[in-house]
Structure 1
Amino acid sequence: MDLLEDDPQPGSNAHEFTVSELSGAVKRSIEDQFGRVRVRAEVGRVSRPGSGHLYFDLKDDRACLAAVTWKGQAARLAQRPEEGMEVIATGRLTTFPGQSKYQMIVDQIEPAGAGALMAMLEKRRKALAAEGLFDEGRKRPLPFLPRVIGVVTSPSGAVIRDILHRLRDRFPTRVLIWPVVVQGEACAPQVSAAIRGFNQLPQDGPIPRPDLIIVARGGGSLEDLWGFNEEVVVRAAADSSIPLISAVGHETDTTLIDFASDRRAPTPTAAAEMAVPVRADLTARLADLGARMARSNAQAIQRPRQRLRDLARAMGRPAALTDGARQRLDLQGARLEPTLRQLVRNRRHRLDARPVPAATLRQFTQAKSHRLDRMASRLDTARSRRLERPKDRLAHLQERLESSLRRVGATTRRTIDQQQARLTDLAQRLDAALHRGQTQRRDALVRLDRMRQSLGPEETLQRGFVIVRGSGDSVVTSPDAAAEMPRLELQFAGSRRVAVRPEGSEKPKRRRSPPSDQKTLL
């Protein structure tokens, strides 16, 4: 038999698919079979391109599955995947025809147990610590007495009430509350925005800039506190130029914001105690410092005064410096007169025995006279010089003493001015705090008085009510008690009326009360 040239070869009757048809068939088959799956795996390579989509691998010890989260869903993920993290991914399987492979579209990721969370937390802590965000050198001291305190917490929880109550007991101060969500996906963005918002407030703006920030939350599980372990919150706390106290959870709870904050408080109440001192202690300390300053000022004035007295006693009287020389001069003068007389007599005898020519006598007399003048001149010079030395020394000592007194006086006045300025500032701040406390209590008293006026008996009578009184001006509150009394007094607004039971009338029998709450008295 002749064979035709166009006869098909054996086995060639199978349907021929195009590449697109085959890829589409595979895609439909996979999506129909695995419409919604949950996969427990370890996160491998993670890629975040500029498009905003999230690409990563899910793997175990024998296989690897490509996964992708689109841009819109990636922003809503409760947990971002990180390499080495064990997770449970939820999504659907599909194929990518462009590369002939299948992949998983992930729309939800959750950690695979607390062990995975702790491992991821430790890894993140080490990475942030390596950047120096937890160094002790970055931490700033807390202000001694902050004028304004910013609190980042939930406004509806018990935490803010505990903080405000503790601050009111210790030292009332102004508090700014930045309301945030303290749990869930929105926690980390809102807390970081609150910290940065407080730091961006101007110093002299309409809203005062806080001197201290407290980030607070009550206790909870590791998942509840996870928002305070996010990197954006840690970096905001580390970059804060305002000192920050972390009070997240109870004493046994630890989050990453605790390492980046300037001070960690075991509880929100303890954070309030760290923020402000006790006003009563400050008042007592201020009184003690004022007494010490007064004693110090008195001593600073008394010591130079006593030193001046001691120096004055040590110098002695100026006249005492010349008393000895004056006494020696008097003694020499007393001895000089007899000696001169004796000398004159001897010279006269010698002259009588052997007359001296007049010319020689005049010459001798003139020579002695000149010598006597020179001796008198030298004596006056020596005496004036002897007196000038003590005077010069006394003037020098007096100048040194005056200089010391001026220096001590200037130092004392400067110290007194500084202490007085500090005392004035503290007194003004204390007066302002007392004025605020009095204003708050006065407002509360006014509110209570208004409530008393609105709920008082006279105001109640003005609204149409009546007070029923029995014997002894007692108030009757039940119909049974009113039926037993022969005389009743009805008090209206502005007047009273008496209701008397007629004599001989029987007491009304008790009837069954109508369904309503009202009852007939008489």
Structure 2
Amino acid sequence: MSEQSSNVAEFSVSEISFSIKRTMEDAFGYVRVRGELGRISRPGSGHIYLDLKDDRAVLSGVIWRGVASKLKIQPEQGLEVIATGKITTFPGQSKYQMVIDALEPAGAGALMALLEERKKKLAAEGLFAEERKKALPPLPKVIGVVTSPTGAVIRDILHRISDRFPLHVVVWPVRVQGETSGAEVANGIRGFNALSADGPIPRPDLLIVARGGGSIEDLWGFNEEAVVRAAADSQIPLISAVGHETDWTLIDLAADLRAPTPTGAAEIAVPVKAELMAMVDDRARRLNSGLVRFVTSRRTELRAASAALPAPQDLLALPRQKFDTLANSLERALIVSTKSHRTHLENLSGRLSPFLLSRQTSKARQDLTQISGRQQRALQVAVSQKRQAYSGASGRLSPARLAQQITLGNERLNGFSERLDRAYLARVREEKTRLDGLQKLLKSLSYKDVLARGYAVVRDESGQPVRSAAELAQGAALSIELADGAVEAMVMSDSGTSKPKAKTKKPATSKSKPADQGSLF
């Protein structure tokens, strides 16, 4: 046996790994693989790691950073794609993988499914809500156009605006097709919004995002999430004019208004100058005619009203007659009132003689003298009573008596303090004894002491204790907690299909442990 083993060639780990790598790369130098994108990882290095899968297998793949930046579509989980590249191995982990050089959707159906999923996601965020849309200005002064500067679209827009109403147009040049078109269009919309009103470049009053028709792949840049969010966040009203009338993209749903064609966008953006001038002239004529009719009507009404009014002398005749009557009555009333007041004054003057006033003053002086004498005697009696009360109280407020009361109060306070200290120490001892008892009870109920006697706790992947072997399936991960730590384990066989053979156990002696103690958990 040893002689046969000696004839087998020996390889190092690196030799056998790189030999397998060369074999794989020679056999699968260039392949196209169709599958559904599963796990996708984008680390900080810029590379993209992903899984290609179908209903029976999974193939790991990697897209290097230089290739990832040039992809027409960005990989998203659940998208069905066709990947082009080579199969190789990664010796560091003994695994094979596909290095992807190109990635394309597996037909229009995959793109439509991705488009529908993205549409639902953005609609749930409210980016397509009608209340977010802004009204277009009736006559903008400056229009910003985000499109290709070399295509026929910009020439059609400029020609139509020039025919209808010439005004200032600012073009933000972008690519409207390719892997960078979405980012450039989003930057163009945000760039116009970032312009200041008084800057060297005028800030547009209206934006138009335009492109000619094409397939869904050609228009895919206008379905990117960055473009939709930029259109929804635009503070300047925005018209979407992407493709023909039958072409729909997500920017059409986020824009304030969708135009069927770029030329239609120009027609929506500005009115016809000649029609405006004709409308202004017509309204001016109607205004002048209406003003003449209004003045004539008011003049006729004024004349009719003035004819129905009475003469000024007729209006003042009745008030003048009332004034004369009241003037005659006033003169007689003044005479009667003067006589009445004179009689009343003469009656009062008889009671205001000097003798009467002198007698009343003398009587008031006598009354005041009597009241002053009684008040002085009452004040003396009150002062005497207060002096006697204060003399009696002063005997009870001597310093010796106050010192005696303070001494008694201090003795009572010291007694209370000693009683409080004794009660506090007794309560502390009582709570300590109760806490020690609870600690012993907790220790006796803890499963840690059981682990120290040789038992273990088996937990599943979620950390829950395993109570029955029937709950475990082959390959399940377990965690076994022992007294001094925990170890990880895996079930090697299904408990329902494979049962371990029973081992013969020796009869237990009086000094050995019981053969089967059971499980506490």
Q: Bin the TM-score by the shorter chain.
A: 0.5 to 0.7
Q: Which residue of 1 aligns with 2:507?
A: none
1:136 and 2:87 are equivalent in the alignment: no
Which residue of the partner structure matches residue 491 of structure 1? none
- Shift in alpha-carbon separation, 1:312–1:54, aligned structure 2, 3 A: same
Matches within 5 A, 1:429-448: none
| 2:164 counterpart (154, 163, 170) | 170
**Partners in 1 of 2:124 and 2:160 — Cα distance?**
37
Cα-to-partner distance string for 1:351-406 (whole Å, 9 max, x where unaligned): xxxxxxxxxxxxxxxxxxxxxxx999329899xxxxxxxxxxxxxxxxxxxxxxxx
C-alpha change, 1:86 and 1:375, in structure 2 (3 Å) is: closer
Q: Is the 8 A contact 1:228 1:256 kept in 2?
A: yes
Q: Distance in 2 between matches of 1:251 and 1:315?
A: 71
What is the one-letter code of the residue matched to 1:378? S
| Offset at residue 284 of structure 1 (A) | 2.1
Counterpart among 234, 239, 247 of residue 253 in structure 1:
247
Change (3 A) 1:327 1:104: closer
Determine helix, strand or coil for the equivalent of 1:137.
helix
Tell me, what secondary structure is at the counterpart of 1:11?
helix
The one of 135, 153, 160 aligned to 1:159:
153
Taking the aligned partners of 2:332 and 2:295, their CA distance within structure 1 comes to 44
User: In the TM superposition, what is the alpha-carbon distance from 1:246 to its structure 2 partner?
Assistant: 0.8
> Which residue of 356, 364, 378 maps to 2:329?
378
Q: Distance in 1 between matches of 2:174 and 2:330?
A: 102
Query: 2: CA distance between counterparts of 1:124 and 1:189?
Result: 17
Matched, 1:110 2:61: no
Question: How far did residue 156 of structure 1 move?
Answer: 2.1
**Residue matched to 2:442:** none
How far residue 177 of structure 1 moved from its aligned partner, in angstroms, is: 1.5
Q: Secondary structure at the match of 1:281?
A: helix
- The answer to whether residue 50 in structure 2 is matched with residue 56 in structure 1 is yes
In the TM superposition, 1:106-505 aligns within 5 A as 106-294=100-288, 312-313=306-307, 315-321=309-315, 323=317, 377-378=328-329
Aligned to 1:33: 27
In 2, distance between residues paired with 1:247 and 1:381? 98
Q: CA deviation at 1:74?
A: 1.0
The question of whether the paired residues in 2 share the 8 Å contact of 1:219 and 1:253 is answered with yes
Q: 1:309 deviation in Å?
A: 5.5
Alignment of 1:64-103 (within 5 A): 64-103=58-97
SS across alignment from 2:146: strand
SS in 1 for 2:171: strand
Match of 1:45 in 2: 39
CA change 1:309–1:169 in 2 (3 A) is same
C-alpha separation in 2, matches of 1:242 and 1:375: 78
Q: State the distance in 1 between where 2:56 and 2:320 align.
A: 124
Structure 1 pair 298–379 and aligned structure 2 pair: CA distance change class (3 A): farther
In 2: Cα distance, 1:86 partner to 1:301 partner? 77
Quickly say closer, same or farther: Cα 1:326–1:106, change in 2 above 3 A. closer
- Residue type at the aligned position of 2:58: C
Distance 2:326 2:70 in 1: 119
Closer, same or farther: CA 322–56 of 1 in aligned 2, 3 Å: closer
Shift of 1:323: 5.0
Aligned partners of 1:26 and 1:287: how far apart in 2? 88
CA positional deviation for 1:310: 5.8
**CA distance in 1 between partners of 2:322 and 2:270 (Å):** 80
Secondary structure of the residue aligned to 2:84 is strand
Gaps of 5+ in 1: 1-6, 330-373, 383-522
Residues 377, 69 of structure 1: alpha-carbon distance in 2 compared, 3 angstrom cutoff: same
The Cα of 1:97 is off from its aligned counterpart by 2.2
Deviations along 1:31-90, whole A, 9 cap, x unmatched? 222222111111111122233221111011111100111222211111111111111101
Kindly provide the amino acid, as one letter, of the partner of residue 271 in structure 2: P
State the 1:118 CA deviation: 1.2
- Partners of 2:331 and 2:281 lie apart in 1 by 66
Residues 77 and 107 in structure 1, CA contact (< 8 A), matched pair in contact too: no
> Which residue is equivalent to 1:20?
14
What residue is the counterpart of 2:346 in the other structure?
Answer: none
Q: Distance in 2 between matches of 1:78 and 1:172?
A: 38
CA offset digits 1:111-145 (Å, max 9, x no partner): 11111111111111111111211111111111100
Which residue type is aligned with residue 103 of structure 2? I
SS at match of 1:284: helix
Structure 1 distance, partners of 2:327, 2:196, is 89
Instruction: Tell me, yes or no, if the aligned pair for 1:92 and 1:106 is still in contact at 8 Å.
Output: yes
CA deviation after TM superposition for structure 1 residue 20, in Å: 2.1
Alpha-carbon distance between aligned partners in 1 of 2:286 and 2:258, rounded to the nearest angstrom: 36
Aligned length: 333
RMSD in angstroms over aligned alpha carbons?
A: 3.1
Residues 154 and 182 of structure 1 are in contact (CA less than 8 Å); yes or no, is this contact kept in structure 2?
Answer: yes
Summarize the Cα distance change of 1:316–1:99 in structure 2 as closer, same or farther, 3 Å threshold.
Answer: same
Partner SS, residue 113 of structure 2: helix
Please state how far the C-alpha of 1:327 moved relative to its aligned partner: 10
Query: Match of 1:442?
Result: none
| Residue 380 to residue 163, structure 1, CA distance change in 2 (3 Å) | farther
Partner of 1:168, secondary structure, is helix
- Show CA shifts across 1:173-224 (max 9, x none): 1111122222122321221221111111111111111111111111111111
Equivalent-residue separation in structure 2 for 1:182 and 1:56 (angstroms): 29
Which amino acid is the alignment partner of residue 31 of structure 1?
E
**CA separation of 1:275 and 1:378: change in aligned 2, threshold 3 A:** same
Structure 1 contact 152–194 (Cα < 8 Å) conserved: yes
Which SS does the other structure have where 1:285 is aligned?
A: helix
d(CA) in 1 for partners of 2:269, 2:136: 7
1:263, distance to aligned residue in structure 2 (A): 0.6
The question of whether the paired residues in 2 share the 8 Å contact of 1:149 and 1:214 is answered with: yes
